[in-house]
């Protein structure tokens, strides 16, 4: 279908939605902030964002599985406070019940709606036929390939004839050919006039997939998640990924995805370990990526870099974020370019590289700087890791607090700023450092 300006009344409205989660200390951790979006009849919308940007949380709010802390999500004029018959969801991990057959898994939603046995049988048969599962009705999930299991997930969602189909990275757990096949099947169904679904919202980390399927692409900033940009695709289906127009949209999406977001009311506040968390990137990964950029003359196109490594952009982004946080590179217009420090780092011997990294980590990585400073003033220059974990738990979940400390230990050890005794849970610093 060709994109036109859609003036129909929205089916889904997300109005200034904010979502906070409570950490073990009872404090509120912002995941989404003031998010607004609309889904209108006849359009597919893709949500792009880095890991931790709240994409899946937003999807679950629209599905009625999670309640917002502020703002509202509405289905037409009715506020969404619980799962409803007009909305269905396809999950990344299939979410099938292993003790039920394909037919029994597909009919779960109809049973929950109280649909009669006769009608259930008719609709399940139609859905199984529509999604290409004929012959597998009595198979169990363990007997199916990943692609076939995801077909069951789609059949289970579509059998309830939802107006709104929500998809949480539905193709990411599949091999390339299977994912391509299923995407094609979905678009074939979407083009049929009898297809009951009126609008679709898909979370993905695959930019090419978003341009291939969506009419609009929304990009989420993170910490907390909020929409920082929108791309209207404007290409008719089917789309040719090799066409210049397609590639131009991919490049535009990469630029929006990788360029720095906005700081809003945080712009004038000095960064702290909670307002500027460490990206989940090890030193070896950062150094390896910078070496690849250096081999390309100090500037690399991120789409080409990701494609050459056979990774998605979301897989590279923690490394990109770490390199830009430390001032080793800058990201703009979909490219990654080494700074003077980054060039020196890639050309230096190991001891000189460690000194460059230590200097930048002290200056630009708040958690590393906090640990370094605390050890410098502590008696015997030793402190238990629990002290830092207690502080981190005020701004992170337990899992994220542990992750932040692990990354800070890795960075600090590499820069020889401090050492760590895992048995004693002690961070230590050389007094002369």
Judgement on whether residues 219 and 318 belong to the same structural domain of the protein: no
Query: Would you place residue 23 in the very low, low, confident or very high pLDDT band (cuts 50, 70, 90)?
Result: low
pLDDT, greater one: 305 or 275? 305
Judgement on whether residues 324 and 182 belong to the same structural domain of the protein: no
Look up the domain containing 245 and give its range: 12-258
The CATH code of the domain that includes 297 is 1.10.10.10
pLDDT of residue 26: 64
Q: Is residue 2 predicted with pLDDT exceeding 50?
A: no
pLDDT of residue 232: 92
pLDDT of residue 45: 93
Query: Would you place residue 432 in the very low, low, confident or very high pLDDT band (cuts 50, 70, 90)?
Result: low
Judgement on whether residues 329 and 417 belong to the same structural domain of the protein: no
Judgement on whether residues 100 and 222 belong to the same structural domain of the protein: yes
**267-304 pLDDT tens trace:** 444 677 877 888 888 999 899 889 999 998 988 888 77
Query: Would you place residue 94 in the very low, low, confident or very high pLDDT band (cuts 50, 70, 90)?
Result: low
Q: Is residue 29 predicted with pLDDT exceeding 90?
A: no
Judgement on whether residues 189 and 309 belong to the same structural domain of the protein: no
Judgement on whether residues 32 and 150 belong to the same structural domain of the protein: yes
Judgement on whether residues 137 and 96 belong to the same structural domain of the protein: yes
Residue 6 lies in a domain: no
- Averaged over 368-391, what is the pLDDT? 89
What sign for the dihedral angle of Cα 351, 357, 362, 365? Answer: negative
pLDDT of residue 4: 43
- Averaged over 179-203, what is the pLDDT? 84
Judgement on whether residues 355 and 369 belong to the same structural domain of the protein: no
Q: Is residue 3 predicted with pLDDT exceeding 60?
A: no
The CATH code of the domain that includes 143 is 3.40.50.300
Domain limit, last residue, from 310, 344, 363: 363
pLDDT, greater one: 112 or 285? 285
Judgement on whether residues 185 and 292 belong to the same structural domain of the protein: no
**124-154 pLDDT tens trace:** 888 888 777 788 888 888 888 877 888 888 8
Judgement on whether residues 220 and 238 belong to the same structural domain of the protein: yes
Structural domains counted in the chain: 3
Residue 142 lies in a domain: yes
**216-232 pLDDT tens trace:** 999 888 778 888 889 99
Residue 22 lies in a domain: yes
Judgement on whether residues 65 and 187 belong to the same structural domain of the protein: yes
pLDDT of residue 112: 80
pLDDT of residue 341: 93
**237-269 pLDDT tens trace:** 888 888 989 888 888 888 787 765 444 444 444
């Amino acid at each position: 279908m060709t994109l036109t300006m859609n003036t129909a009344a929205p089916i889904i409205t997300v109005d200034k939605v904010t979502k906070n989660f409570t950490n073990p200390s009872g404090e509120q951790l912002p995941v989404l902030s003031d998010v607004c979006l609309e889904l209108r009849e006849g359009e597919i919308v893709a949500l792009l964002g880095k890991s931790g940007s709240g994409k899946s949380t937003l999807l679950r709010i629209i599905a009625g599985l999670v309640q917002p802390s502020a703002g509202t999500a509405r289905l037409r004029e009715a506020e969404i406070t619980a799962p409803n018959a007009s909305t269905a969801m396809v999950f990344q991990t299939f979410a099938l019940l292993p003790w039920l057959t394909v037919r029994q898994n597909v009919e779960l939603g109809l049973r929950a709606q109280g649909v009669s046995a006769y009608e259930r049988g008719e609709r399940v048969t139609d859905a199984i036929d529509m999604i290409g599962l004929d012959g597998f009705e009595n198979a169990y999930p363990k007997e199916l390939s990943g692609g076939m299991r995801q077909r069951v997930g789609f059949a289970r969602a579509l059998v309830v004839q939802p107006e709104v189909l929500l998809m949480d990275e539905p193709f990411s757990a599949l091999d390339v050919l299977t994912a391509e096949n299923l995407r094609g099947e979905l678009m074939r169904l979407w083009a049929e006039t009898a297809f009951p679904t009126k609008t679709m919202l898909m979370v993905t980390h695959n930019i090419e997939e978003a341009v291939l399927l969506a009419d609009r692409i929304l990009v989420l900033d993170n910490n907390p998640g909020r929409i920082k940009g929108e791309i209207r695709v404007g290409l008719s289906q089917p789309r040719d990924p090799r066409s210049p127009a397609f590639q131009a949209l991919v490049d535009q999406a990469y630029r929006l995805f990788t360029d720095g977001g906005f700081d809003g009311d945080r712009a004038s506040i000095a960064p702290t370990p909670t307002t500027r968390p460490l990206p989940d990137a090890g030193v070896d990964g950062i150094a390896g990526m910078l070496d690849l950029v250096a081999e390309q003359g100090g500037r690399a196109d991120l789409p080409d870099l990701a494609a050459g490594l056979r990774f998605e952009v979301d897989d590279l982004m923690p490394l990109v974020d770490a390199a830009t946080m430390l001032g080793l590179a800058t990201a703009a217009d979909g490219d990654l370019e080494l700074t003077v420090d980054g060039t020196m780092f890639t050309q230096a011997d190991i001891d000189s590289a460690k000194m460059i990294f230590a200097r930048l980590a002290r200056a630009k990585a708040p958690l590393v700087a906090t640990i370094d400073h605390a050890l410098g003033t502590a008696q015997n220059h030793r402190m238990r890791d629990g002290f830092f974990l207690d502080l981190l738990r005020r701004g992170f979940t337990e899992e994220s607090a542990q992750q932040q400390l692990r990354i800070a230990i890795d960075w600090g050890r590499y820069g020889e700023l401090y050492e760590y005794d895992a048995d004693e849970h002690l961070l230590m610093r050389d007094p002369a450092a």
